[in-house]
Chains A and B, each alone.
Chain A
Amino acid sequence: EVQLVESGGGLVQPGGSLRLSCAASGFTFGAYAMYWVRQAPGKGLEYVSSISSNGIGTYYANSVKGRFTISRDNSKNKLYLQVGSLRTEDMAVYYCARSLASESHWGQGTLVTVSS
């Protein structure tokens, strides 16, 4: 069974940083591109970032470019998102996802709260 479990969310002050993690199991992690998608409270889904299966290709939404960094460790079956220079508008549930097309599977998300 495919499982994606996010962790690392929490309360952080504006300007602060966090490292989000996503532990994958039940599939060959290194064969898939992986994604981070967020959802602010009561709002819609927003693409944040993606990384190729070998970690070489990384892509970001304009809203987070230069502040967030995506990475992965295929030996540990883990996906990461380093989030920095946080703003109140970054407050959201952050989901990791395997594929945004066929074979798409999402975790349950981790909440990032940005507040002073």
Chain B
Amino acid sequence: QSALTQPPSVSGSPGQSVTISCTGTNSDVGSYNRVSWYQQPPGTAPKLMIYEVTNRPSGVPDRFSGSKSGNTASLTISGLQAEDEADYYCSSYTTSSTFVFGTGTKVTVL
């Protein structure tokens, strides 16, 4: 199972919006609405930000939103804040009843 493809890095100034893409195949992202997004600041465990493509757990700011089209899912951070600087990973359920993670994207707040 190959990792989902994410851009290595994205950046933006405070207040701007950034979007991270997550491209898979018909065996994962394209087959299920079971895409999640995780935030991981350095030295910490991942934290769930989005599940089932568009849903936010309680406590996650509404600046974070998710979407999906075909084999590509996306995470958008609107109104970028300094505290959003971290690594972000997508994940998807697969047709093998396993999960696959994305390659990871470093978000930098300029």
Contact = CB atoms under 8 A, between A and B. Distances in A.
Interface of A: 35, 37, 44-47, 50, 57, 59-62, 95, 100-109
Contacts, number: 62
Given A102-B52, A104-B48, A107-B45, A44 B36 contact: no
Nearest to B89: A45
B99 A35 contact: yes
Contacts of A44: 3, 87, 89, 101-104
A69 B52 CA distance: 28
Q: Is the interface of A mostly helix, strand, loop or mixed?
A: strand
Given A100-B36, A101-B51, A102-B57, A45 B101 contact: yes
A95 B36 CA distance: 17
B91 interface: yes
B100 interface: yes
